[in-house]
Amino acid sequence: MRGPNLPGRTFKGGFLTAPHLGTPSRLIVLEDPPAGVEALSETEQVEQGRPEPFPCKAVFNPQLRPTSNATSVYWERDPSVPGYRALVERYNEVQVSGFDPSGSAVDFVARGWQARLFQQAADVLDGSIFIDRCIMRSLCHLDARRGLVFQQRPVVMFRHLSAIEVCTCAIMNADCMFHVVMLERQGQFLPRCILCQIVPL
């Protein structure tokens, strides 16, 4: 396991840590390949903070420090909990310091999707995973919404609760907690439920 291709061809993007491989080391490997970003719409790229891909990076003994209090909420998964995802709040930017595979010191700012991956991976190194931080009501199996067909267009309502919003939608007839993503549509910003993925009427 050496050089920029660490850990090799089996890594398809996202993040991986040494504990995932059964190795007791503080190592994070992450990548966002072009194919993953190109498969997203412009709206999805904005929501996920993925304007462009980034090459494979490996950092030993990573130290993270948020550069501001700005946060965002989006879906996360983990190979330790296959088949499930949940909404997690993360800092938008973090200062990353550590060492690369050659032993040289690294220090840079990770933003957007890269910042989210670093934070999620750092949690794994510290013994926790995304379900320890997630909005618990959002935890669901990936198959939960497959084949879901609405008889009529759901009515989505919003009411303000400080920085948190509540969406009452037709999916599973339940309330879900989430932070609103603001999207620019024809010059107007509209709140969109990132749990049910429906723009309110």
Span 23-54, pLDDT tens digits: 889 999 999 988 888 888 888 888 888 888 89
Provide the strand spans (E) within the chain: 14-17, 27-32, 54-66, 71-76, 84-91, 93-99, 105-111, 140-141, 157-161, 164-168, 175-178, 181-185, 188-192
**Range(s) of the domain holding residue 57:** 14-137
Q: Does residue 178 form part of some domain?
A: yes
Quick one: 127 and 154 in the same domain? Answer: no
Q: C-alpha angle with apex 26: 24 to 30, nearest 5 degrees?
A: 115
Quick one: 42 and 128 in the same domain? Answer: yes
pTM: 0.68
Which of 59-63, 131-135, 146-150, 153-157 holds the top average pLDDT? Answer: 59-63
Q: Does residue 3 form part of some domain?
A: no
Quick one: 29 and 104 in the same domain? Answer: yes
Scored b (16 or more CB within 10 A) or e, 154-175 reads: bebeeeeeeeebebbbbbeeee
Quick one: 47 and 115 in the same domain? Answer: yes
Quick one: 151 and 126 in the same domain? Answer: no
Q: Does residue 185 form part of some domain?
A: yes
In this predicted model, what pLDDT tens digit does every residue of 64-94 receive, in sequence order? Answer: 999 999 999 999 988 888 888 899 999 999 9
